[in-house]
Amino acid sequence: MMDFDPGNRLIAALDVEDRRQADALAARIGGAADWLKIGLELFVAAGPDLVREYAAAGRRIMLDLKLHDIPATVERAVARVATLGAELLTIHAGGGRAMIEAAASAARGAHGMRTRILAVTVLTSLDDRDLGEIGARGPLEDLVARRARLAAEAGADGVVASPREAALVRAAAPAGFLIVTPGVRPAGAAAGDQKRVTTAAEARAAGADLVVVGRPIRDAADPAAAARAIAAELS
């Protein structure tokens, strides 16, 4: 993991409906964000070719599919993803040790570009009340820390956690373990459906290696300028 180059640490989320909109937004962002995130909606709409073609064009891709299934299914899916050129792939830590181990094994056994596995600890749209409703044992911060330790032990390369738990994860995780934080908003921006948010600078100070930013870049009049301002906070 020590050979990982985070670039300017900014992942711009292509949270759009189709390939045409993705191409347009990626072009407007240009090189202001070193990473692009392709999430579930866009992947379903545009398919694996989008990942393959963007990676072939030199774009660094986080494929945010949050895989959560039996270990054998996840293992096979990760092996397919590893052929596309995405450098980061998300799975759910809640899938358990065997599933995480299967994903990590498939990623490391694949040929070509190394796909790193990120285990999602607790979605940033959830809080303690939500955890209680689904029967998860909290408090939320404790659950994030437990899942981060499990992910590290099971061979994941890092985790996705809100910036509010980044320092907790950093203290519990081994050296070189990646922390990727969504739920990042510029000061004064609306949180939307995110419940655990901070600014990019706060996330970085807490130990985040990379931050994912969606709407504040996508909806800006000048997405490249918005991305550059966030990247400057991270430098």
Determine the pLDDT at residue 3. 80
Residues 66-82, mean pLDDT to the nearest whole number: 97
Determine the pLDDT at residue 1. 45
Q: Residue 183 — pLDDT band, cuts 50, 70, 90?
A: confident
Reply yes or no: is the peptide bond before residue 139 cis, omega within 30 of 0.
yes
Q: How much is the pTM?
A: 0.92
Determine the pLDDT at residue 2. 47
Determine the pLDDT at residue 222. 98
User: Which residues belong to the active site?
Assistant: 66
Spell out the domains of the chain, with CATH numbers in brackets.
10-234 (3.20.20.70)
- Per residue in 36-66, pLDDT tens? 999 999 999 999 999 999 999 999 999 999 9
DSSP-derived secondary structure for 133-198: HTT--S-HHHHHHHHHHHHHHTT-SEEE--GGGHHHHHHHSPTT-EEEE--B--TT---TT-SS-B
pLDDT, greater one: 1 or 54: 54
Query: DSSP secondary-structure letter at 175?
Result: T
Tokens 């963007």 correspond to 54
User: CA-CA distance, 180 to 160, in Å (whole number)?
Assistant: 5
Strands 35-39 and 116-120, how do they pair?
A: unpaired
Determine the pLDDT at residue 138. 78
Q: Residue 189 — pLDDT band, cuts 50, 70, 90?
A: low
Determine the pLDDT at residue 91. 98
Q: Residue 186 — pLDDT band, cuts 50, 70, 90?
A: low
For residues 217 and 33, the answer to whether their CB atoms sit within 8 Å is yes
Residues 192-219, mean pLDDT to the nearest whole number: 84
- Per residue in 98-145, pLDDT tens? 999 999 999 998 766 689 999 999 998 888 999 999 999 879 999 999
- Per residue in 210-232, pLDDT tens? 999 999 999 999 999 999 999 99
Q: In a 3-state reduction of DSSP, which class is residue 159?
A: strand
